[in-house]
Amino acid sequence: KNEVEQSPQNLTAQEGEFITINCSYSVGISALHWLQQHPGGGIVSLFMLSSGKKKHGRLIATINIQEKHSSLHITASHPRDSAVYICAGAASGSRLTFGEGTQLTVNP
Amino acid sequence: EPEVTQTPSHQVTQMGQEVILRCVPISNHLYFYWYRQILGQKVEFLVSFYNNEISEKSEIFDDQFSVERPDGSNFTLKIRSTKLEDSAMYFCASTRGQSNYGYTFGSGTRLTVV
């Protein structure tokens, strides 16, 4: 059974702090997605990783295939980064298995 | 930037009624999905659709659920006889291919069954 576990569940930071959210996944998952969900509920895709590292603006995502672990980093965090961040794994088909999400709150 | 469009954004229905949730995926995407998120819970896979047929479905997707792509653009999820526990946010998504392609999600339909 494909599984994805995230930590922490909740994270509160001060504006400007460096933030890391972690995700571990099970054997069988070949690609890892990082998603952002805003209070209104909509989901936005941030990254899709099968190896290495990707960067977009202040967001960086890394994946270690041997350890089955991925991290999402936010540099110079800002209150507008407050959202739920979700990692989701894709197995040999294309369905995604979602983690529980990390509620991030960045205070000014 | 291309979007996945879902309608309606919010639907309230009485228990036992049929509902149809609509989605317009991105035009050059080939794989289409429905996911749902019950309030306070994680997102769950319902069904995937490729080449005009269901390619995979979860145990949630029982006989009360059906999907259709009637006209080559719209992708619909029908719930035949809604139950209270069907209340959730339903997300449509599409991708160009399997596994190593990014997803585009719609903004969701919040279904409330009363």
Note the pLDDT of residue B98.
74
Between A28 and A37, the higher pLDDT residue: A37
Residues pairing with A90 in the sheet: A31, A96
Tell me how close the Cα of B18 comes to any Cα of chain A, in angstroms. Answer: 24
Average pLDDT, chain B: 94
Note the pLDDT of residue B79.
98
DSSP-derived pairing of the beta strands A102-107 and A10-14: parallel
Note the pLDDT of residue A93.
66
| CA A38 – CA A28 distance, rounded (Å) | 29
| CA B94 – CA B23 distance, rounded (Å) | 10
Residues pairing with A37 in the sheet: A43, A84
Give phi and psi for B93, each to the nearest 5: -145, 160
| CA B25 – CA B2 distance, rounded (Å) | 9
Give phi and psi for A43, each to the nearest 5: -110, 130
pLDDT band at residue A95 under the 50/70/90 scheme: confident
Give the CA distances from residue B86 to residues A26, A43, A69, B66, B89, in Å, rounded to whole numbers and listed in that order. 29, 20, 33, 14, 9
Q: Does A104 touch chain B (CB under 8 A)?
A: no
Using CA of residue B40, residue B26, residue B104, residue B62, what is the dihedral sign?
positive
pLDDT average, residue stretch A34-60: 93
Query: Are B56 and A95 a contacting pair at CB < 8 A?
Result: yes
- The two three-digit tokens of residue A99, written as one number: 């983690």
**% of residues, chain A, pLDDT over 90:** 81
Tell me how close the Cα of B46 comes to any Cα of chain A, in angstroms. Answer: 9
Query: Are B37 and A44 a contacting pair at CB < 8 A?
Result: no
Residue A84 scores a pLDDT above 80: yes
**% of residues, chain A, pLDDT over 70:** 96
| CA A107 – CA A93 distance, rounded (Å) | 40
Give the residue ranges of chain B where pLDDT is below 50. none
Neighbours of A96 (CB within 10 A): 27
Note the pLDDT of residue B71.
83
pLDDT band at residue A16 under the 50/70/90 scheme: very high
Note the pLDDT of residue B72.
78
Note the pLDDT of residue B50.
92
pLDDT average, residue stretch A1-15: 92
Whether B61 contacts B46, CB under 8 Å: yes
Note the pLDDT of residue A47.
94
Note the pLDDT of residue B84.
97
Average pLDDT, chain A: 94
Note the pLDDT of residue A53.
96
Note the pLDDT of residue B112.
98
Contact list in B for residue A56 (CB cut-off 8 A) is none
Note the pLDDT of residue B42.
95
Tell me the residue type at A86. I
Tell me how close the Cα of B71 comes to any Cα of chain A, in angstroms. Answer: 23
Whether B17 contacts B82, CB under 8 Å: yes
pLDDT average, residue stretch A73-100: 92
Whether B10 contacts B17, CB under 8 Å: no
Note the pLDDT of residue B70.
83
